[in-house]
A and B are shown apart, each in its own frame.
Chain A
Amino acid sequence: MTNDPIIQVENLSKLYRLGTIGTGSLRQDVQRWWYQTILRKEDPFFKVASDKGTSADFLWALRDINFEIKEGEAFAIIGRNGAGKSTLLKILSKVIRPTQGVVRGRGRINSLLEIGTGFHDELTGRENIYLNGHFLGMTRSEIKSKFDEIVDFSGVEQFIDTPVKRYSSGMYVRLAFAVAAHLEPDILVVDEVLAVGDAEFQKKCLGKMNDASKKEGRTILFVSHNMQAVNNLCHRAMLLQKGAMLKIGAVDKVVNHYLSGIQQHMLSQQWPDTETAPGNATIRVTSVQLTPHLEDTLRPIDVRTELTLTFEFWNYEEGINLVTGIHLFTQSSECIFDVSSKPQVYSKGLIKGTCSIPGNFLNDGSYYISIIFVKDTSTEVFYLSECIAFDVEDFRENTNWYGKWMGHVRPNFPVILTPLPALP
């Protein structure tokens, strides 16, 4: 990586007109033309949108984006759906034009917003390799020299002269990816659509990108929702929100900022006023809190994080034989566990409960907690449902696999393989 910027983005904005474009637009177009060309005034529609910030008919998909990418850098663009990631990639790929601002760059840029662009079903694999390659900007000699490699990589040698409409969908995707993987641009722009397909294919895609970035020193721009892949592949990242740049910097910082931002903040609830606090004549809950044991409070909760649930409640019944149970559910309402305190007799007063969920126990996902209060081991006194909600992020080390880990729990039980002596 050198220190020279290879792409420079300055004040980039993109305005979209919403709603149906059709009958109404001819009048608007004529009006706009009249204002701009004949009266030499500002575009009346454009003004409306920039004055009010957001207008019902217009949307700023991107607003005043500024950044630079250095040569050889792997740069990620992250954000929620509709944040403007794809719009930015499309502008960088010259597919659409910005409304304002400018992008400057050096060297050859290739973008993979999709694989198999321009594939024609009726043509053979061989014809499609050339067609797709040319669409992606490869010259004939480039494709010719890499043709065997591409076919090898795709693993469809046998069917290379068969029309691709006869291919299985897996073969089709492999062939399409094989062409894309043999591009040799200075800057590679990759959209997350590449990460479709089975786990093995994803691994191949990401592996190839890793090679391009780390071994071949190409500049990569990568859009993804897969934070593990982003963390592993990229040096720097940019976080977009509703078209604006929220944060830019080292990849782990930006990813953490993004994840802690999207995590649900129902980690604690307090009811100082006992009159309105949830409960009844017997039980009044005053607070519940889930504390993640994190060294860095800015980091999100991940699969390693130990969690402690604490709750406080008033008991109004003298000599109650009480049991409290903690129910943990997944977002799809499947109960993961139901743990409870030992039955015991309590006097009137404030009672505090705690429960620890160890690290390396829950899998990544979204969870919520409910608390049940039971009298005499069988009568339900009060059920405080969904009082805590939280997300657990994925964390992996020393693995090249980024697919979804199966199961609701992810304990660290050792799995041991022992080679056995060969049978005589």
Chain B
Amino acid sequence: MRWQWEIKPESAWFEWNWKEIWNYRHLLLRLIRRDFLTQYQQTLLGPAWVVIQPLVTVLLYVIIFDRVVGISTNETPPTLFYLSGIIVWNLFAESFSGTVYTFTANAPLFAKVYFPRLIIPFSVTASHIIRFFIQFMLFAGFYVYNLYSGTVTFNLAYCILAIPLAIVVSAGLGLGSGLALSVFLAKYRDLTNLIQLTIRLLMFATPVIYPLSIVPDKIKAVMLYNPLVPVIEFFRMAFLGQGTVSGVQLAYSIVSVMVIFLAGSILFNKMGSKLIDVV
């Protein structure tokens, strides 16, 4: 007679139980469904908010940064320029802030029932990837209009590459860093304020409302440590024909995001089962 499972004081650093996560896939899908069903419950406009939010943001940016401040968008239509930056940035920022509070937001649930804890951040990120697709449709709408009026040119091969790249890097970075920080946030609550502030500042250090080409070389070298920078530039290069990015920079983005994701999920797995005593 053999034992099938064991509960020990510590889990190993590299205890990957993908099979268990796979067994709970229905829960993951159900949680994504719950996110969409509950978010727009009792709202007048319902799911339309997924596109209204970026639409209003773009409108504001066009008025403030384009008309009032006059930041260059490198001859591309400002609407498309801002929208492309916003949707890629949003995917990162939303995945990050959705996963970083995993422990604090789900403490009552985690205290009552066991399931692989990674399911929760995975489901949050998956919901935001779906929202990204919806917002991309909005972008595509504006894009087709601009194609007809001849203000943009595109590179099909780049476009096909740019979409998965944007998703993997933005969502991966948001999820990975969210997982890692959620562990610390569960213990040290003062990080909450710091995180909000950092995210807001980080947006201005990322070429969302300006092209990388107008940034002085010295600052550019520092900015390029941010894995999001090459991806946003590449996304714009693919769809708008304007962007400064190299293959090496893109490779750096992918590798660094993979490292952050792995580190984040290992830390999350290792600490996750112990944190319930602390939260």
Verify A122–B37 contact, CB threshold 8 A.
Answer: yes
CB of A283 within 8 Å of the partner chain: no
Convert A239-266 into 0s and 1s, putting 1 for each residue whose CB lies closer than 8 angstroms to a CB of B.
Answer: 0000000000000000000000000000
**Does A118 lie within 8 Å of B3, measured CB to CB?**
no
Residues of chain B contacted by A123 (CB below 8 angstroms): 34, 37-38
Could you tell me if A130 and B113 are in contact, using CB atoms closer than 8 angstroms?
A: no
Q: How far is the CB of B122 from chain A (nearest CB, A)?
A: 14
Interface residue? B274 (CB, 8 A) = yes
- Write the B36-51 contact mask toward A (1 if CB under 8 angstroms, else 0): 0110011000000000
Cα-based distance from A113 to B3 in the complex (angstroms): 24
B6 A103 Cβ-Cβ under 8 A: yes
Task: A202 to B172: give the CA distance in the assembly, Å.
Answer: 48
A98 & B38 in contact (Cβ 8 Å cutoff): no
Smallest CB–CB gap between B278 and chain A, Å?
A: 6
Known: A21-B187, A95-B276, A123-B34. A135 touches B113 (CB 8 A): yes
Q: Does B1 contact A (CB under 8 A)?
A: yes
Known: A21-B187, A26-B188. A118 touches B5 (CB 8 A): no
Stretch in contact with the other chain, from B22-30, B134-142, B227-235, B244-252: B22-30
* Inter-chain contact B34/A134, CB cutoff 8 Å: no
Distance A404 CA – B30 CA, assembled complex (angstroms): 41
Q: Give B114-157 as 1s and 0s: 1 = Cβ < 8 Å from A's Cβ atoms.
A: 11000000000000000000000000000000000000000000
A94 to B113, CA, bound (A): 8
Indicate whether A98 sits within 8 Å of B7 (C-beta atoms), given known contacts A21-B278, A123-B38: yes
- Verify if B9 is at the interface (C-beta below 8 Å from A): yes
Chain B nearest Cβ from A63, distance in angstroms = 14
List residues of chain A with CB within 8 A of the CB of B5: 104-106, 109
The reply to whether A122 and B41 form a contact with Cβ atoms under 8 Å apart is yes
In the complex, chain A residues whose CB is within 8 Å of the CB of B4 = 105-107
CB < 8 Å A-B pair total: 106
Residues in chain B near residue A26, CB distance under 8 A: 187-188
Q: Which residue in A90, A92, A104, A134 is a CB contact (below 8 Å) of B27?
A: A134
Contact of A135 among B111, B115, B189 (CB under 8 A): B115
Partner of B7, one of A103, A122, A163: A103
**B10 and A97: CB pair below 8 A?**
yes
In the complex, chain A residues 109-124 whose Cβ is within 8 Å of any chain B Cβ: 109, 111, 113-114, 117-118, 120, 122-123
A130 to B31 CA separation, bound complex (whole angstroms): 10
The distance from the CB of A297 to the nearest CB of chain B, in whole angstroms, is 41
A117 contact from B31, B38, B113, Cβ within 8 A: B113
Knowing A98-B9, A117-B113 touch, does A139 contact B30 (C-beta < 8 A)? no
B6 neighbours in A (Cβ, 8 Å): 102-105
Residue of B nearest to A191 (CB): B112
Q: Is the CB of A97 within 8 A of B113?
A: no
Q: Mark A21-54, 1 if CB is under 8 A from B, else 0.
A: 1100110010000000000000000000000000
Whether A95 pairs with B112 at a CB distance below 8 angstroms is yes
Contacts of A97 in B (CB 8 A): 7-11, 273-274
Report chain B residues within 8 Å CB of A102: 6-9
| Interface presence of A4 (CB below 8 A) | yes
Q: Counting CB contacts under 8 A, is B210 at the interface?
A: no
> Is B69 an interface residue when CB atoms closer than 8 A count as contact?
no
Q: Compute how far the CA of A36 lies from the CA of B240 in the bound complex, rounded to whole angstroms.
A: 54
Contact residue among B11, B26, B33, B109 (Cβ-Cβ distance under 8 Å from A118): B109
Q: Known A123-B34, A134-B24; judge A95-B114 contact (CB<8 A).
A: yes
For A109, A134, A137, A139, which residue has the most chain B Cβ atoms within 10 angstroms? Answer: A134
The answer, yes or no, to whether B277 is at the interface (CB within 8 Å) is: yes
A4 touches B9 (CB 8 A): no
Contact A92 B7, beta carbon cutoff 8 Å? yes
Asked if A8 is an interface residue, CB under 8 A from chain B, the answer is: yes
- Give CA–CA (A412, B27) in the complex, Å: 54
Asked whether, in the complex, the Cβ of B113 is within 8 Å of the Cβ of A104, the reply is no
**Residue A383 at the chain B interface, CB threshold 8 Å:** no
On chain A, the residues within 8 Å of B9 by CB distance are 97-102
- Report if A140 contacts B (CB, 8 A): yes
* Chain A CB within 8 A of B103 CB: no
Interface string of A190-230 (1 = CB under 8 A from B): 00000000000000000000000000000000000000000
Instruction: Beyond A8-B3, A123-B34, list 19 extra A-B contacts (CB 8 Å).
Output: A22-B188, A25-B187, A92-B7, A93-B113, A94-B7, A94-B273, A95-B113, A97-B7, A101-B9, A104-B3, A105-B6, A113-B111, A118-B113, A122-B38, A131-B30, A134-B27, A135-B113, A139-B23, A140-B26
Which residue numbers of B lie inside 8 Å of A, CB to CB? 1-11, 23-24, 26-27, 30-31, 33-34, 37-38, 41-42, 109-115, 187-189, 273-274, 276-278
**Nearest 4 CB-CB pairings of A with B:** A134-B27, A94-B114, A104-B3, A103-B7
The 7 listed contacts between A and B (C-beta, < 8 Å) are A16-B277, A98-B8, A102-B7, A106-B4, A114-B112, A114-B113, A135-B27
